[in-house]
């Protein structure tokens, strides 16, 4: 029983990483119309930048600065590489971000080394909060709370700010939005940067939980795609939910049959595709 709770809780945390990734991916998929294969590399970059910043500005500083730094790099990448591809066959943006991911992963390996690095978290966060449930450490609770907070902020941003409203409108109907005289290029750039920022945040948090390796993002990327498919393409809330569901499901399966914990994610996806092709909260028509 304790083992089950342990694994569910662990799954919830992994699910949070998936959810943060999937949120960013989903934003970018919606308005920029591309599947960002380099999302995982940006996540890893977020973790490594935080690693290098921590001795200088401490964990809390790095937690705030690193995501924004990664977001800025994302802004640059959008401007230079992604922008020429809007309106072209989606194949090209897939290949381009794929190539970008390879380069970034390789550069990370060159700068920080191929072997894993430990990422230390503040003592205040590393103690268990409960004697019985030793696995409920401050950091893990903090991680879940911060992820939820970041997500809530994003939804508030999309709902109550002008840029956010435009992003949502552009998601629904890009043509009309551009006909209204809104600068789509800027909107897409901002949107891309926000998506990347979330990857960076997930990177810092994941570093404290999983440690740092150049491929840490790549291994989180695929489940995040699945989270989007399960949650429903076009729905940010769905992506979030999808991430948590598959994370927890993998956790539960780990308890009983560890070898199948990765595969179960894809089985859930296959079932969703057969039973409800548009995903849990997806808009009708997008996937059908």
Partner 1 sequence: MSASPVDKTASAGQDSAPAAPPARRIPALLPAIVIWLLLLSVPFWLPLLGGYTELGTRVLIFGLVAMGLNLLLGFTGGLSFGHAAYFGLGAYGTGLMLKFVTHSTPLAILVGVIVGGLAATVFGPLTVRRRGIYFAMITIAIGQMFYFVSVRWNSLTGGEDGLTGFSRTDVDLGGWILHLQHPMVFYYFTLFFFAIGCAVVWSVLHSPLGHTFIAIRENQKRLRFLGLPIGVYIWIAFAISGFIAALAGSLYALLNNFASPEDLNWVLSGVFVIICVLGGMRTFWGPLMGAVIYVVAQDYLSSITVNWMSFIGAIFILAVLFFPWGLLGFFQGRFQK
Could you list the residues that contact partner 1 (CB under 8 A)? Answer: 29, 33-35, 37, 81, 84-85, 88-92, 94-96, 98-103, 105-107, 110, 222, 225-226, 228-229, 233, 259-260, 262-263, 266-267, 269-270, 273-274, 277, 286-288
Which residue's CB is nearer to partner 1, number 70 or number 268?
Answer: 268
Q: Determine phi and psi for 283, rounding to 5 degrees.
A: -75, 145
Q: Alpha helix locations (H) across 81-161? A: 90-112, 123-126, 138-160
CB of 37 to partner 1, least distance (A): 8
CB atoms within 10 A of CB 64: 15
Phi and psi angles of residue 212, each rounded to the nearest 5 degrees, phi first: -110, 125
DSSP 283: P
Q: Which residues pair with 117 in a beta bridge?
A: 212
**Shortest Cβ 140–partner 1 spacing (Å):** 25
Q: Is the Cβ of residue 165 or residue 263 nearer to partner 1 in the bound state?
A: 263
Smallest distance, Å, CB 89 to partner 1?
A: 8
CB 41 within 8 Å of CB 196: no
- Smallest gap, in angstroms, from Cβ of residue 128 to partner 1? 30
Q: 50 or 230: whose CB is closer to partner 1?
A: 230
Nearer to partner 1, 8 or 273 (CB): 273
Q: Which is nearer to partner 1, 61 or 211 (CB)?
A: 211
* Nearest distance in Å: CB 102, partner 1: 3
Query: 24 or 208: whose CB is closer to partner 1?
Result: 24
DSSP secondary structure, 193-227, as one string: HHHHHHHHHHHHHHHHHH-B-TTHHHHHHHHHHHH
Toward partner 1, which CB reaches closer, 175 or 288?
288
Provide the strand spans (E) within the chain. none
> From the CB of 97, what's the least distance to partner 1, in Å?
9
Query: Taking a C-beta distance cutoff of 8 angstroms, is the pair 42, 108 a contact?
Result: no
Closest approach, Cβ 63 to partner 1, in A, equals 29
Residues β-bridged to residue 128: 137
Residue ranges of the alpha helices (H) in 28-38?
none
What is the C-alpha separation between 32 and 81, in angstroms, rounded? Answer: 13
CB count within 10 Å of CB 89 equals 9
| C-alpha span between 51 and 205 (Å, rounded) | 11
């Amino acid at each position: 029983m304790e083992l089950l709770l342990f694994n569910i809780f662990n799954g919830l945390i992994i699910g949070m990483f998936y959810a943060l990734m999937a949120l960013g991916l989903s934003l970018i998929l919606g308005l920029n119309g591309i599947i960002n294969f380099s999302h995982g590399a940006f996540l890893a970059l977020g973790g490594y930048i935080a690693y290098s910043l921590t001795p200088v500005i401490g964990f809390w500083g790095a937690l705030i600065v690193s995501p924004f730094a990664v977001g800025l790099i994302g802004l640059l990448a959008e401007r230079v590489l992604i922008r020429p591809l809007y309106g072209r066959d989606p194949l090209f943006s897939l290949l381009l971000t794929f190539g970008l991911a390879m380069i970034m992963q390789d550069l990370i390996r060159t700068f920080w080394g191929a072997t894993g690095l430990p990422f230390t978290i503040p003592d205040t966060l590393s103690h268990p909060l409960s004697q019985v449930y030793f696995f409920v450490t401050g950091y893990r609770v903090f991680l879940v709370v911060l992820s939820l907070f970041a997500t809530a902020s994003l939804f508030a941003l999309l709902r109550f700010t002008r840029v956010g409203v435009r992003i949502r409108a552009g998601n629904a109907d890009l043509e009309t939005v551009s006909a209204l005289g809104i600068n789509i290029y800027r909107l897409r750039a901002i949107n891309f940067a926000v998506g990347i920022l979330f990857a960076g945040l997930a990177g810092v948090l994941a570093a404290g939980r999983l440690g740092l390796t150049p491929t840490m993002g790549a291994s989180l990327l695929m489940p995040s795609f699945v989270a989007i498919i399960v949650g429903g393409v076009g729905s940010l809330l769905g992506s979030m939910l999808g991430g948590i569901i598959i994370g927890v499901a993998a956790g539960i399966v780990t308890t009983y049959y560890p070898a199948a914990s990765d595969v179960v994610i894809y089985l859930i996806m296959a079932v969703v595709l057969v039973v409800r092709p548009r995903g849990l909260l997806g808009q009708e028509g997008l996937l059908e």
